[in-house]
Amino acid sequence: MTPRRVAINAENGRYEVVYGAGVLSGAGRRIKSLGQNTGVFLLCSPRVARHWRRKLERALRNAGLRRTILFDDREKSKNISTVERVCRELIRAGADRRAVLVAAGGGVVGDVAGFVAATYLRGVGLVHIPTTVVAQVDSAIGGKTGVNLPEGKNLVGAFYSPRLVLADRVTLSTLPPREFRSGLYEVIKYGVIADERLFAFLENSLEALANRDAKALDFVIPRCIQAKAKVVSRDEREASLREILNFGHTFAHAFETATAYRNYLHGEAVGWGMIAASRLAARMGLLAPESAARIERLVRRLGPLPSLPDARPSRLLEIMHADKKTRGGELRLVLSRKIGSAETLGPVAPKLVVEVLGHLGRQT
C-alpha cells in the first residue's frame, strides 16, 4: 500500500505520522531528511529487540546509529528510576544536544523515551516507531510523555512532540494475541468519542480486525491517527478538547493503580473503564441506555477482561481524585452523550461513581 501521511501541528513545529506496510525499512532515509544530527540512539525493550533489533539497526545505520539502549517495557518499570538509567547511558554514550532518540516499541517505551528526550540536556530530537496497536493509534501521537508514581499513573511528565512518527503494520505481526487485543480497546475508544462510522465498522468487522486482517487494519489505524491528529492539533496541551482522549481512562488508571500495574494490560483496564463510563453516563441520563449497551457489548466481544480489582469502590474513588482532570477536589470525567462524541463533565457526584463501581462486575 502507498503510505498514508497525516500532518500534525505542534508548538515546536509540524511533524508527520507515516503509516503503511514497509515504512520501517525506510526509517533511516526519513530520519536523515529531518536534518543533520550528531548520532541516532535506538531505545527499545528486550522484547521488541528480540523480534526487530536487527531490522531496526539495519534501517537506522545510514542515519547515524551509534548505540542501542534497552530497558524494561513493563508498566511497573515506567518510573523515574528507568528515566535516570537511560539518561546516564546516553551520557556515557556521548549523546549531545543534536542527538536523535528513536523510540521503538509500545506505550511504555514511547512514554519513557519521550520524557527522556524532553528532559535530557533540556531537549533532544525524538522519533517514534510504534510497534503495538495502542502506540500506533494513540500513545505515539500528540507529544504526551510521562512516568508513574506509586500514587498514580503518568503523574510526572511533559508535553514534547516528536519530529516524526513511523508506523508499520508489519510490526504488529509479532504481538502476542493478548497484547494485540488490548490495543483494540483504544480503537473502540475512538469510535465512541469521535467517529460513529468507525464504531459501526467495528460492530460489523471486529473479528476480522482481531484476526489482524490487513484490509481491516489499513482502514482502522489511519482513521484513528486522523482522529487523534485532529484533536491534538487543536489542543496540544490538554487544556480542553484533548481531554476527550481520556474516555474510560480515569477509571482505568484507578484499576491499574489499585493492582500495582500487575493485573492489566493498559487497554484491558481501558475496556473496563469504558464500560464504567458508559454505565455512569446512562445512570446520569446523558447517554441512552441502548447506546451504553452497544458500547459494553462491543468491549466484551474482544474477549474476557481480567477481573476487577479487589478494592472497595471508595478506595477506587479516592485514587480517581488524583486524576489530572480533577479541579478543586471535584471529580471531572469524560463522558459520551451519543456514540461519536464525548466531553468532559463535572463535578460528578461521588455517590454515583461509587454505585457504578459497586455494580461493575455484574453484566447488564
Q: Which of 78, 242, 279, 332 is catalytic?
A: 242
Please indicate whether residue 55 is annotated as part of the active site: no
274 and 184 both lie in a single domain? yes
* Partner residues linked to 344 by β-bridges: 334
pLDDT digits (tens, 9 = 90+) for 178-208: 999 999 999 999 999 999 999 999 999 999 9
Q: Which of 238, 243, 256, 268 is catalytic?
A: 238
Q: Which of 78, 128, 181, 266 is catalytic?
A: 266
Cis preceding-peptide flag for 347 (omega within 30 of 0): yes
pLDDT band at residue 329 under the 50/70/90 scheme: confident
Q: Which of 47, 78, 153, 253 is catalytic?
A: 253
Please indicate whether residue 238 is annotated as part of the active site: yes
pLDDT digits (tens, 9 = 90+) for 191-250: 999 999 999 999 999 999 999 999 999 999 999 999 999 999 998 888 889 999 999 999
Query: What pLDDT does 214 receive?
Result: 96
> In total, how many domains does the chain have?
2
Q: Which of 144, 153, 189, 332 is catalytic?
A: 144
Query: What pLDDT does 50 receive?
Result: 97
93 and 55 both lie in a single domain? yes
Query: What pLDDT does 141 receive?
Result: 95
pLDDT band at residue 322 under the 50/70/90 scheme: confident
Query: What pLDDT does 328 receive?
Result: 85
Question: Looking at the domain assignment, is residue 87 inside a domain?
Answer: yes
- Asked if pLDDT for residue 304 goes beyond 80, the answer is yes
Element (H, E) at 119: helix 107-119
Question: Looking at the domain assignment, is residue 221 inside a domain?
Answer: no
Please indicate whether residue 144 is annotated as part of the active site: yes
Query: What pLDDT does 340 receive?
Result: 97
What's the whole-number mean pLDDT along residues 322-327? Answer: 82
* Partner residues linked to 158 by β-bridges: 145
Please indicate whether residue 253 is annotated as part of the active site: yes
pLDDT digits (tens, 9 = 90+) for 150-165: 888 899 999 999 999 9
- Asked if pLDDT for residue 345 goes beyond 70, the answer is yes
Residue burial 64-92, b: 16+ Cβ < 10 Å; e: rest = bbbbbbbbbbebebbbeebbebbbebbee
Question: Looking at the domain assignment, is residue 124 inside a domain?
Answer: yes
Q: Which of 249, 268, 279, 296 is catalytic?
A: 249
- Asked if pLDDT for residue 305 goes beyond 90, the answer is yes
234 and 325 both lie in a single domain? yes
Please indicate whether residue 163 is annotated as part of the active site: no
What's the whole-number mean pLDDT along residues 324-331? Answer: 85
Q: 173 and 217 in contact (C-beta within 8 Å)?
A: no
269 and 121 both lie in a single domain? no
Question: Looking at the domain assignment, is residue 264 inside a domain?
Answer: yes
Q: Lowest-pLDDT range, 48-62, 148-162, 266-280, 287-301?
A: 148-162
Rounded Cα gap, residues 253 and 240, in angstroms:
20
Q: Which of 236, 243, 246, 332 is catalytic?
A: 246
Percentage of the chain lying above the pLDDT 70 cut: 100
351 and 205 both lie in a single domain? yes
87 and 202 both lie in a single domain? no
Rounded Cα gap, residues 134 and 45, in angstroms:
16
133 and 150 both lie in a single domain? yes
Backbone φ, ψ for residue 55 (5° rounding): -70, -40
Question: Looking at the domain assignment, is residue 31 inside a domain?
Answer: yes
What's the whole-number mean pLDDT along residues 36-45? Answer: 98
The residue range of the domain holding 105 is 4-174
Please indicate whether residue 266 is annotated as part of the active site: yes
Question: Looking at the domain assignment, is residue 219 inside a domain?
Answer: no
152 and 231 both lie in a single domain? no
- Asked if pLDDT for residue 40 goes beyond 80, the answer is yes
- CATH code where residue 266 lies: 1.20.1090.10
Tell me, what DSSP letter sits at residue 264? -
pLDDT digits (tens, 9 = 90+) for 50-93: 999 999 999 999 999 999 999 999 989 999 999 999 999 999 99
Residues in CB range of 208: below 8 A, 6 or more apart: 215, 216
- Asked if pLDDT for residue 364 goes beyond 70, the answer is no
- Asked if pLDDT for residue 136 goes beyond 80, the answer is yes
Q: Which of 75, 179, 186, 296 is catalytic?
A: 186
163 and 194 both lie in a single domain? no
Please indicate whether residue 186 is annotated as part of the active site: yes
Question: Looking at the domain assignment, is residue 10 inside a domain?
Answer: yes
Query: What pLDDT does 27 receive?
Result: 97
285 and 143 both lie in a single domain? no
Q: Which of 122, 262, 351, 362 is catalytic?
A: 122
CB burial of residue 122 (10 Å; 0-12, 13-18, 19+): exposed
Biggest alpha carbon–alpha carbon distance for the chain: 59
Please indicate whether residue 228 is annotated as part of the active site: yes
Backbone φ, ψ for residue 261 (5° rounding): 60, 25
Give the residue from 99, 26, 108, 40 showing the smallest Cα distance to 68. 40
- CATH code where residue 134 lies: 3.40.50.1970
- Asked if pLDDT for residue 327 goes beyond 90, the answer is no
Question: Looking at the domain assignment, is residue 191 inside a domain?
Answer: yes
Q: Which of 47, 78, 128, 228 is catalytic?
A: 228
What is the residue-averaged pLDDT of the chain? 95
Please indicate whether residue 215 is annotated as part of the active site: no
Percentage of the chain lying above the pLDDT 90 cut: 90
Query: What pLDDT does 238 receive?
Result: 84
170 and 185 both lie in a single domain? no
Query: What pLDDT does 217 receive?
Result: 97
Rounded Cα gap, residues 218 and 214, in angstroms:
6
161 and 258 both lie in a single domain? no
Read off the pTM: 0.92
Count the neighbouring beta carbons within 10 Å of the beta carbon of residue 363. Answer: 7
Please indicate whether residue 122 is annotated as part of the active site: yes
